[in-house]
A and B are shown apart, each in its own frame.
Chain A
Amino acid sequence: MGIVYIPPNPPIPPSQQPTVSVYASVIEPKIANTLVRRLNQIAPLENLRHVKRVRKQCLDGGKMQLTVILCLACENGSLSGSMPKDIVELINSYQLSAFVTKVCKYAALSKEEWEEQCKLWPTSYHPPTYNIEGITGFSEEESQLIFSFMKLAIRLATSTNDQVVNAAVIVDPSSKQIIASACDQIHSWNTTVSKTSLEPGQLEQSAVFTSCLTPVVGAMLNGSAGRSKQLTDVSCLHPWHWPQPQLLASSSFFHPLRHAAMVAIESSAAGDRLLFPSNQDIRNQCSHEDDMQSVYSNSPAKRQKTVPLEVVDSEPVDNCSIIVGPEQVRPYLCTGYDIYLVWEPCAMCAMALVHQRIRRIFYALPNPNAGALGSVHRLQGEKSLNHHYAVFRILLPEEELMFGRREGNVYWYNCCENDK
């Protein structure tokens, strides 16, 4: 098992990073300060802030040699013509001999890239100061918690009647509480019950759940339905498939846009409205509060006993936060929350999660047909968006993915195979 961070930019092999040409010249160390100050005025390296202006090299015999970047060169690299007049004057007055060399165009995103860049010309590297936890790695306890939520999502994905669908679980990682969970509801959206909150005990169940193979899944896979459907019911994998004739005599209600993530967002919003009635509703708050006490208080003491995960976090756990109270801070949409999805979401769902301010997305299987977190699009790398989540793929062994070896699910099997 593993957790792989899916960065905003597609990975580039360190040795194939784009470069730009610059004019450089060896200089006398004693003129370095004056020269660099002057160069920063007349030819600042605006878009190459990661590139060091001066390269220091230790020559044989211990002598130090300094080389300075004069200015950008045009790509055909001819020495004449394109150089600014001020630079030419500088070259003449200090008797420099300019040559063309290459530097990396973009700042390094990883230590590996940086090491490779420095072979060409030294650059600076600032390890990301991300405020999203996990990008620089997860502790063993965090990983276990993440795996347990993903297993819960997988269990949901296979528990709807006899279909395999996508499933979504929204979690508040600070309290380890499930905010909402949902499956695709393309064909049965009024018949499937979506829970705004699972009972705390259910998480523990999932954490100790070792095999995700439920009897329902087993029956389905052995039957013909599983064999012929080939995961076309997974809405994010096949978003355009909904008008196709259905093999199942499903309910008469359908909704082509009720993908698991959309339903989970709706469900979490409904929970938010219930927990934090707006000002107009405030008169009714007292009576609501009674109802909510019964819904949400599987009393804190009991909760702690049955959910050992609660104590994993080193932060002090505020028991009061579980009980609804007027002093509790109303969340802004899903700020700070994580979502677990069995499959990489499509563009609609991925953008919905931007709108709803999800903090981290964990998915188990890529979506080569319509995935928007790296496969077809890469929304986490779209700079213009006003919110950016961190994306992780969870690598689970085939057993955990339930039916890697079953012949009925060629696609799923191939997915697992390709990843090795």
Chain B
Amino acid sequence: MASASQVEEDLATAVAFMQLAIQQAKIAMDSLEVPVGCVIVEDGKVIASGRNRTTETRNATRHAEMEAIDVLLEQWQRTGISVAQVAEKFSNCILYVTCEPCIMCAAALSILGIKKVYYGCANDKFGGCGSILSLHSGSSEHQFSDEGSQRKGFTCTGGILASEAISLLRSFYEQGNPNAPKPHRQPVHQPGN
């Protein structure tokens, strides 16, 4: 069991990294994107960061997590490491993201086999780490005998700097999402994660 001081220290570390994720969210906000940001940490060091880019790319899958993941994959493969090494590296990575990963991102994180996720506010419309689906829990009744086909779980802790994350999202939607389609088209009111 971790001691009380250890828990406190872990929380302090998580808050410090989450501050960096919030900074990414602010960059998204300044670019008129839904303000969600993240950093990925390996061995106590930030190795990638990302923020929402759905408007710029017109690709609604370009969430902060997907952006950071792509940075890593490109970076690692430039050094020529193998598929197995990439898998090993992901299993040592911790993601800090300002909003609970959506179903898509949670599934992606499970596919990659990430070690741990800290998030800010919950995502009660699309959340894939407990709010709508629980893709972070590895157990499943649908398991193949093939070892390589088994789903992977990751531990997930929410509520880190949640109020900062929420206030960013709130101010974004209060000023009106300038990228939302015009009213005669389909309305959108959601965080982009």
A residues near B, CB below 8 A? 232, 238-246, 252-257, 262, 265-266, 269, 272-273, 332-333, 335, 346-352, 354-357, 368-370, 372, 375-377, 379, 382, 384-387
Contacts and interface: CB of A to CB of B under 8 A. Distances in A.
A254 B128 CA distance: 25
Q: Which of A238, A351, A375, A384: most chain B Cβ within 10 A?
A: A351
Interface of A is mostly: loop
* Chief secondary structure at chain B's binding surface: loop
B78 to A, nearest CB: 10
B66 A246 contact: no
Contacts of B66: 257
Given A351-B102, A357-B60, A377-B133, A252 B80 contact: yes
Contact of B186 (A243, A256, A335, A350): A335
A257 B111 contact: yes
Given A240-B149, A241-B149, A347 B190 contact: no
Given A255-B73, A257-B112, A347-B128, A244 B148 contact: yes
A369 B142 contact: yes
B98 to A, nearest CB: 18
Given A238-B148, A240-B149, A242-B111, A272 B58 contact: yes
A356 B62 CA distance: 10
| Residue of A273, A335, A377 ringed by the most chain B CB atoms within 10 A | A377
A351 B126 contact: yes
A412 B87 CA distance: 28
Given A254-B77, A351-B104, A356-B61, 6 more contacts: A240-B111, A257-B108, A257-B111, A272-B58, A273-B58, A385-B125
Nearest to B124: A384
A386 B60 CA distance: 13
B188 interface: yes
Contacts of A265: 59-61
Most buried by A among B103, B148, B152: B103
A223 to B, nearest CB: 22
B66 to A, nearest CB: 7
Nearest to B66: A257
A240 B142 contact: no
B59 A242 contact: no
B148 A241 contact: yes
A332 B181 contact: yes
Contact of B185 (A244, A252, A332): A332
A277 to B, nearest CB: 11
Nearest to A329: B185
B29 to A, nearest CB: 18
B127 to A, nearest CB: 9
B86 interface: yes
Contacts of B104: 347-349, 351-352, 354-355
B167 to A, nearest CB: 21
B149 A246 contact: no
The number of chain B residues touching the other chain, given as a range, is 35 or more
B151 A352 contact: no
B189 A386 contact: yes
A255 B83 CA distance: 9
Interface string B104-147: 10111011110000000000111010001101000010101010
Given A357-B186, A384-B132, A351 B107 contact: yes
Q: Which 10 pairs, one residue from A and one from B, show the smallest C-beta to C-beta distance?
A: A243-B87, A351-B104, A269-B59, A348-B107, A355-B60, A347-B107, A351-B103, A244-B148, A241-B148, A332-B181
Contact of B59 (A266, A335, A350): A266
B175 interface: no
A30 to B, nearest CB: 50
A369 B144 contact: yes
Contact of B190 (A241, A244, A386): A386
Contacts of B185: 332, 335
Contacts of B150: 240
Contact of A242 (B60, B83, B124, B190): B83
Contact of A240 (B73, B77, B103, B152): B152
Given A352-B104, A370-B142, A386-B190, A333 B58 contact: yes
A262 B144 CA distance: 24
Contacts of A350: 103
Interface string B66-110: 100110010001001001101100000000000000111011101
30 contacts: A238-B144, A239-B151, A240-B110, A240-B151, A240-B152, A241-B146, A241-B148, A242-B111, A243-B86, A255-B70, A256-B73, A257-B66, A257-B111, A265-B59, A266-B61, A347-B103, A347-B135, A348-B103, A349-B104, A351-B103, A351-B128, A355-B60, A356-B60, A357-B186, A368-B142, A369-B144, A369-B149, A370-B151, A376-B142, A382-B133
Contacts of B133: 347, 377, 382
A385 B126 contact: yes
B3 interface: no
A346 B107 contact: yes
B156 to A, nearest CB: 15
Interface string B160-188: 00000000000000000000010001101
Nearest to A269: B59
Nearest to A334: B60
A331 B150 CA distance: 39
Interface string B14-52: 000000000000000000000000000000000000000
